[in-house]
């Protein structure tokens, strides 16, 4: 069986939602029942968003996870997705493992593959893997944007910062040990359930994908507030390698691929369990940093400028 036929057979075996029409039609069809739909599209390019030597099943997982993380940040219940896949000659094993990892991620979070497109890539071209994900939110329920934070709101994250960046650095140094940090880089866990729980209370919400500082700055800009960052929570795995100095925290805050939620909530209320306070919105504009009571210079590069 040719690589393409094999890939399409495996793709069809992943399909259960009637919306997909068995992947035998030109388009997917969704019944919407009057829900609001949240749509997001994230593309990963080989050599840019993943390493050519990343195990293909983790690349598949990550493509699902980064899109699910965007749905999570809107409080949406994952529904369906469309895959855009560049197929290369003689890559059957890679394709198969990729689909296995993507399938595990979609199953884990209840998102159905409902369509997409498979295209041929020229030999030697980097893989370009795109997913468009659709989630549902009940009609009338507010969907938090980046632009709703208010003066006096506190800023929270739903997990530690910097693990994925530290994992990527280990890989770049040629470290072979898988370890928790590398795992954070390769197999991020989108905070889908947490996002659904917080969405009703959040003034603003997004996920941290390009780095805590740059994404928090974007939220502040869109919300027309100033923001003071007061904490950068680190994991024990991160601290075991880099310690918890201000330098270590700033390195974590400017690394990307965290895929935790970034949430602005009323500063006078008790935050939901599982959130960690990292800052406070104020009158004005721009971002400032104070860690352990000390003012820290805002770095020139806040994170990745684009994905």
Residue 206 interacts with a second copy (CB under 8 A): yes or no: yes
User: Quick one: 216 or 248, whose CB is closer to a second copy?
Assistant: 216
Residues 207-266 that bind a second copy (CB under 8 A): 207, 222
Q: How far apart are CA 119 and CA 104, in angstroms?
A: 23
**Quick one: residue 258, left, alpha or beta (phi over 0 = left, psi -120 to 50 = alpha)?**
alpha
> How far apart, in Å, are the Cα atoms of 154 and each of 266, 273, 278, 287?
6, 15, 8, 14
Minimal distance in Å, beta carbon 194 to a second copy?
16
Binding footprint of a second copy, residue count (CB under 8 A): 66
Q: List, in order, residues 6 or more apart from 286 with CB less than 8 Å away.
A: 217, 220, 226, 227
Which of these, 188, 241, 219, lies nearest to 287 by C-alpha position?
A: 219
Which of these, 40, 32, 18, lies nearest to 195 by C-alpha position?
A: 40
Residue 147 interacts with a second copy (CB under 8 A): yes or no: yes
Residue 24 interacts with a second copy (CB under 8 A): yes or no: yes
Residue 33 interacts with a second copy (CB under 8 A): yes or no: yes
Tell which one of 130, 162, 195, 279 touches a second copy (CB under 8 A). Answer: 130
Minimal distance in Å, beta carbon 75 to a second copy?
11
| DSSP string over 263-306 | EEE-TTSPPPTT-EEEEEEESSSEEEEEETTEEEPPPS--S-S-
Residue 178 interacts with a second copy (CB under 8 A): yes or no: no
User: Quick one: 138 or 299, whose CB is closer to a second copy?
Assistant: 138
Tell which one of 56, 60, 64, 115 touches a second copy (CB under 8 A). Answer: 115
User: With CB under 8 A as the contact rule, which of the stretches 10-18, 45-53, 191-199, 250-258 interacts with a second copy?
Assistant: 45-53
Q: How far apart are CA 79 and CA 141, in angstroms?
A: 17
Q: How far apart are CA 16 and CA 1, in angstroms?
A: 23
Residue 172 interacts with a second copy (CB under 8 A): yes or no: no
Residue 16 interacts with a second copy (CB under 8 A): yes or no: no
Residue 296 interacts with a second copy (CB under 8 A): yes or no: no
User: With CB under 8 A as the contact rule, which of the stretches 77-85, 99-107, 177-185, 238-246 interacts with a second copy?
Assistant: 77-85
CA dihedral 94, 307, 302, 59 (to 10 degrees): -20
Q: Show the tokens assigned to 283.
A: 């009158």
Minimal distance in Å, beta carbon 156 to a second copy?
17
Residue 146 interacts with a second copy (CB under 8 A): yes or no: yes
Angle of helix 246-253 versus helix 212-223 axis, rounded to 10: 60
Residue 86 interacts with a second copy (CB under 8 A): yes or no: yes
User: With CB under 8 A as the contact rule, which of the stretches 18-26, 172-180, 276-284, 286-294 interacts with a second copy?
Assistant: 18-26
User: Which positions touch a second copy (CB under 8 A)?
Assistant: 4, 21, 24-45, 47-49, 70-71, 73-74, 76, 80, 82-84, 86-87, 114-122, 125-126, 128, 130, 132, 134-135, 137, 139, 143, 145-147, 206-207, 222, 305-307
């Amino acid at each position: 069986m040719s690589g393409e036929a094999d890939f399409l057979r495996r793709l069809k075996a992943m399909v259960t939602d009637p919306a997909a029409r068995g992947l035998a039609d030109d388009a997917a069809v969704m019944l919407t029942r009057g829900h609001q739909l949240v749509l997001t599209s994230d593309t990963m390019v080989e050599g840019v968003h993943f390493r050519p030597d990343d195990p293909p099943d983790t690349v598949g997982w990550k493509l699902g996870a980064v899109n699910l993380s965007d749905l999570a940040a809107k409080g949406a219940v994952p529904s369906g997705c469309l895959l855009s896949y560049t197929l290369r000659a003689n890559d059957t094993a890679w394709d198969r493992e990729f689909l296995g990892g993507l399938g595990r991620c979609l199953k884990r979070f209840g998102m159905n593959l409902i369509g997409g497109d498979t295209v041929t890539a020229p030999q030697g071209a980097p893989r370009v893997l795109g997913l468009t994900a659709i989630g549902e939110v009940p009609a009338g329920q507010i969907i938090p944007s980046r632009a709703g934070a208010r003066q006096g709101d506190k800023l929270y994250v739903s997990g530690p910062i910097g693990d994925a960046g530290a994992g990527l650095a280990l890989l770049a140094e040629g470290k072979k040990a898988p370890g928790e940090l590398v795992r954070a880089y390769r197999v991020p866990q989108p905070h889908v359930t947490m996002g659904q729980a917080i969405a009703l209370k959040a003034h603003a919400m997004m996920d941290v994908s390009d780095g805590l500082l740059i994404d928090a700055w974007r939220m502040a800009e869109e919300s027309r507030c100033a923001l003071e960052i007061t904490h950068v929570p680190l994991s024990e795995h991160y601290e075991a390698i880099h310690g918890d100095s201000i330098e270590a925290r700033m390195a974590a805050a400017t690394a990307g691929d965290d895929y935790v939620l970034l949430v602005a909530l009323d500063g006078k209320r008790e935050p939901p369990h599982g959130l960690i306070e990292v800052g406070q919105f104020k009158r004005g504009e721009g971002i400032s940093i104070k860690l352990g009571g000390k003012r820290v210079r805002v770095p020139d590069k806040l994170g990745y400028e684009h994905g």
